[in-house]
Structure 1
Amino acid sequence: MKKFVFKLILFLSPLLIFTVLLEVLLKNIPNVYIYKKEYLDKNAINIETLILGSSHSYGGLNPELFSSKTFNAAHSGQLFYYDNKIFNKYKDRFKSLKNIILPISYASFFGNYQIKEISHYKKNYNYYFGLGTTQSIEVIENNPKENLKKIVGYYYNNNYVTKLGWAKIFNSKESRDLIKSAHETLKWHTPDNIKSKKNQTIFKENLSTLKSILNWCRINNVNVILYTLPAYKTYRNNLNKEQLSITILAAQKIAEEYKNCIYLNLIADNNYIEKDFWDSSHLSEYGAEKLSRFMDSIIEFDVISQQRKTLNNLSQKPNN
């Protein structure tokens, strides 16, 4: 029996050593969460424009193309819940903050972290961003293909993010099929029965979370730009019309309620052509450049203040 155990240990030792080494490599990759946390720790006080949100912002808005001091704190699968967590962690340090940009996606108000496609992100925010106490074992919690991709991507290709947090991964050279990607994404972007008690609760919680950010911004005179990202026709033509309508209407009502906020519905913007899309619902670097320069122009022309002045003037005009 002892000989068997000894042989078993000898047999498993290389595998155990490899596993430990792999875990060390994965844990020591300065991943996006660590990088963005460390950047905000050091530079929150200087940020003038803060980009939050999901992959639509993460790959769609390049801070280097903004005139103001901008940082992209978005990430794939980042719902309002973690936008709010990150914002609350640093809000007292945002001494220079003038603008926040946040996407209102088709799935924004009906998303939560019970969805299997994004549930695994929770551990990353908790462990790497310091937003919880959950421990992470990368070797076990990620599939081998993803682990290898992460190691090769960083240690060999340095496939990471830019200094200001914009994702490099939505590169047109590695674009996805525009038909297939729409079908795959819409399967989890469109929940069954949005009028169910569960989905109505999720909607209300997401709306309340978003408004908590907006309330702070209103008190502290920070402008908020909400936007719906341009989408390719294979995605937008297959959306649940009721879900889309509820989402857009909610965003429009928020913009009416908060005078420091505007909502831009760009989902069908015909300025974006096929090469501007990485897949059916994400922009490539070409599309990101268009969107970033457009958003910068909104900020530079102070569109929100101009809109506020117009509304004030209209309200002060006597009725004939």
Structure 2
Amino acid sequence: MKKFLKTVCLFSLPLLLLGIGFEYSLRRVPNPFRFKRYLLEEKGGQIKTMIIGSSVAGYGIDPSCLPDSTYNLAISGQWFRYNEAQLEKYIDSLPHLKNIIWGIAYQAFWEDEYESGVFYQDSKHDAQIAYYSIYMDISFDRNLIHRSELLSAGKICVEKWSKHYLQHEKTMCCDSLGLDHKYDLSEKEEDEKKWLNAIPRSIKMHTALDNEKAERIYQQNIQRMHAVAKLCHDRGVKLYLVIPPTYKMYYENVDEGQLQRMFLAIREVADKWDNVSAYDYFKDNRFVADDFYDGNHLTSDVGAVKFGNILREDIFKE
């Protein structure tokens, strides 16, 4: 038995060392989580307006179009649980913060990184949870999988490693103010038919199933939004709930019931808190094809600039 255990250890040790080395090299690859944390911790003393939310805000609102000291801290796939946690962690270290713009996607009220079975082909976001734990030091559990990028992300992290170390391509496309340029117009699918044909599937993936779990998450996320509103209210910070524009084919085919429940939840929060205002651009017809990367994301270098200028006029007109 001792000889067997010795043999197992002998063969396991190289694999363990290889895994540790790979994990270490992965953590040296630039990524938006680490960069947004850098902005919060190194630029926090000058932030007056911050943009939060998921990819519709991270790619779709250009902070350079808004008043000075505006930073985009939104991250792709960041839902309400982590929006709230990020603010709770950093808001007291942002002495000049006056405004928060929260970009809200059509599916956001039914999303939660820890839940699955709410959307078509939905699954738990283990990789996303791990990124928050590793790079932003925000965690809701003690699961060892969520302490390792290799264990949580699998094939995704191998592709990222290869992209950085072998192909020498960018793995992080944020500018100095935090706008993520991964969805620049130059990166968009050139064949119009292809990106238009992808919209119906996108809508299907964003439409919540009609089940008890979906309803529970919806109610939980409303409470999380109330918690953020209170956090801002207690510190004299104005909160702007913004629904970004979507492409015509997208907004004409979404589930109307889900859309109205999104509006209802936002109105509930805005009506309760005097520091909260809501702005709806979901069906705004001022945006054209080149403003969109896909059905519900603006192009970072074109649409996001137009949207930023519109928000500057609407929110900061005084």
Length-normalised TM-score, structure 2: 0.83
Q: How many residue pairs end up in the alignment?
A: 298
What is the rounded CA distance, in whole Å, between the counterparts of 1:90 and 1:17 in structure 2?
36
- Write out per-residue CA displacement over residues 243-293 of structure 1, whole angstroms, 9 at most, x where no aligned residue: 101111221232222222221111111111001111111111211111112
- Give the secondary structure class of the aligned counterpart of 1:88: helix
**Cα drift, residue 52 of structure 1:** 0.7
Residue of structure 2 equivalent to 1:162: 175
Aligned mates of 1:16, 1:125 — CA distance in 2? 24
Are residues 1:296 and 2:312 paired? yes
Cα offsets for 1:42-88 (capped at 9, x unmatched) = 22232100111000111011222222211111111101110000000
Question: How has the CA–CA distance of structure 1 residues 118 and 281 changed in structure 2, closer, same or farther, with 3 Å as cutoff?
Answer: farther
Superposition RMSD on alpha carbons, in Å? 2.9
CA offsets, 1:135-192, max 9 Å, x none?
A: 5333343243553345525882334211221112112222244334323322332121
Tell me if structure 1 keeps the 8 A contact 2:80–2:112. Answer: no
Task: State the alpha-carbon separation in 2 of the partners of residues 124 and 230 from structure 1.
Answer: 28
> Aligned with 1:234: secondary structure?
helix
Say whether the 8 Å CA contact 1:100–1:224 is kept in structure 2: yes
Alignment partner, residue 241 of structure 2: 226
Q: Which position in structure 2 is the counterpart of 1:128?
A: 135
- The equivalent of 1:174 in structure 2 is 187
The code of the aligned residue for 2:303 comes to: G
Number of the residue aligned with 1:142 = 153
SS in 2 for 1:179: helix
Question: Is the Cα–Cα contact under 8 Å of residues 49 and 97 in structure 2 kept in the other structure?
Answer: yes
Distance in 2 between residues matched to 1:139 and 1:203, nearest whole Å: 31
Q: Which stretch has the larger CA shift, 124-133 or 47-56?
A: 124-133
Change in Cα spacing, 1:296 to 1:245, as seen in structure 2 (3 Å) is: same
Could you list the structure 1 runs, at least 4 aligned residues long, displaced by more than 4 angstroms after superposition: 15-21
Q: Secondary structure at the match of 2:183?
A: coil
- CA shift, 1:208, in A, is 0.6
Conserved 8 A contact 1:77-1:118: no
CA distance in 2, matches of 1:151, 1:73: 27
The 1-side partners of 2:55 and 2:276 are apart by 21
Amino acid at match of 1:179: L
Q: Is the 8 A contact 2:29 2:171 kept in 1?
A: no
Q: Find the aligned partners of 2:32 and 2:128 in 1 and give their Cα distance.
A: 12
Closer/same/farther in 2, CA of residues 134 and 45 from structure 1, 3 Å limit? farther
Separation in 1 of the partners of 2:291 and 2:124?
A: 25
**Matched residue, 1:248:** 263
Larger radius of gyration: 1
Partners of 1:146 and 1:172 lie apart in 2 by 26
Work out whether 1:189 is the aligned partner of 2:223. no
Name the amino acid aligned to 1:130. D
Runs of 5+ unmatched residues, structure 1: 303-320
Unpaired segments of 5 or more residues in structure 2? 117-122
Q: Distance in 2 between matches of 1:201 and 1:23?
A: 36
Distance 2:181 2:157 in 1: 17
The 2-side partners of 1:153 and 1:294 are apart by 36
Aligned partner of 2:112 in structure 1 is 112
TM-score between the two structures when normalised by the length of structure 1? 0.82
AA at the equivalent of 1:124: Y
